Structure 1
Amino acid sequence: MKSTTRGTLAAVIAGVAAAVGAGATPAAAAVGTVPVPVPLKGVEKSLDTELPQLGAELPLPKPGAPEGSGYAEGRLLPERALPQLPVSGGLPGADLHAPLPHVLGDGFDHLNLDAPAAEVSTLAPGLAVDAPLTSPNPRRFGLPDVKEPQAGVVGPALRTVPGASLGTGPGQ
């Protein structure tokens, strides 16, 4: 086999291996949360008792691209001089499975709490400013008219829908 053929074959194999490795990214990166297990099995075995099983999900915040400023008729400056920056992330989630004394009867010996990570979308505050001049007025030979300056703050926004499930039931 020629050396150029071997080099080409090695490059193809390396490319395929890189593509397969890139495709094997963890599912947590795809959904935007990182699972955080709390290992208590060793303590459970050493104390010979049942301990709660606890896990959490931490969100990964992702900044977005701000919307461009928009021009409106009759204004010299754009509508939003300082655009709002969107940031999406999430609220942390938790999963708890704990033993419970037989307070509620024989069939209820465990408490379950499931609070999945919830998406959070935010918009940073923005700024809207307008100059004290209007656009050129053709009746005044292209000179602008004078008006009162305008300034305003575009308030921040926060959107989320958190949820949780609490229940009791039998073992494990």
Structure 2
Amino acid sequence: MKPIARGTLAAVVTGVAAAVGAAVATPAAAVPVPVPLRGAEQSLGTKLPEIGGEIPVPVTGEPQGPRHVRGRIVPERAVPQVPVSGGLPGLGMRTPLPHALDDGFDHLTVEAPAAGLHTLTPGLSPDAPLTPPHPRDAGSVGLPDLKVPRTDVVTPALQSTPAAELGLGPGR
């Protein structure tokens, strides 16, 4: 195999691997946010909950552009819908529950991980108050006719599957 062919083949394989890697990668990531309560726990002399959260980072996708429809002057979806992938914020909490009769502790946990969220922004599809010109119609001399203007609002979409887990157990 010639060196030029090998270089071309390597470039093609590298491009395919990069495209597959980008398609497999998750579009949204969550940034962990701890809530520091250790200092307050030491100064108050009591056990406080351990709290942490996750804040998702939204990522916009590629909108579908306008498309021409026969019989309309203005293209359909003049203001396209934009897909946005992100997530709902997550929460992790573990709090001590003191026993009423002795010095022991149990714990209560709440885990609500960041859930994926996929949305489409609203879109707009206006239509002009004129029809396309009629070049074959002898009566109109190729001029457009008047019609009632119309604007269609493309509704937004929202899709998510949140989950949470509540637990109770012995010990801190």
TM-score, normalised via structure 2 length: 0.68
Which one of the candidate residues 118, 121, 140 is aligned to 1:121?
A: 118
Question: Could you report, residue by residue, the CA deviation over 1:121-169 in whole angstroms, capped at 9, with x for unpaired residues?
Answer: 2222221111223334354155444432211222222222221111211
SS where residue 140 of structure 1 aligns? coil
Whole-Å separation in 2 of the counterparts to 1:124 and 1:33: 21
Which residue is 2:71 aligned to? 74
Post-superposition shift, 1:97? 0.7
Whole-Å separation in 1 of the counterparts to 2:27 and 2:124: 33
Which one of the candidate residues 51, 61, 65 is aligned to 2:58?
A: 61
Which residue is 2:161 aligned to? 161
Runs of 4+ in 1 over 4 A off after TM superposition: 45-48
Which one of the candidate residues 90, 94, 97 is aligned to 1:97?
A: 94
Question: Could you report, residue by residue, the CA deviation over 1:23-73 in whole angstroms, capped at 9, with x for unpaired residues?
Answer: xxxxxx975111011233344455554321111111112222221012222
Instruction: Tell me which amino acid in the other structure corresponds to 1:159.
Output: Q
Which residue is 1:50 aligned to? 47
Whole-Å separation in 2 of the counterparts to 1:134 and 1:47: 76
Identity level (%) = 57
Which residue is 1:40 aligned to? 37
Instruction: Tell me which amino acid in the other structure corresponds to 1:51.
Output: L
Tell me how large the CA RMSD over aligned residues is: 2.7
**Unaligned stretches of 5+ residues in structure 2:** 1-25
Query: How many pairs does the alignment contain?
Result: 141
- CA 77–68 in structure 1, closer or farther in 2 if over 3 Å, else same: same
Which residue is 1:149 aligned to? 149
Whole-Å separation in 1 of the counterparts to 2:98 and 2:71: 72
**Unaligned stretches of 5+ residues in structure 1:** 1-28
TM-score, normalised via structure 1 length: 0.68
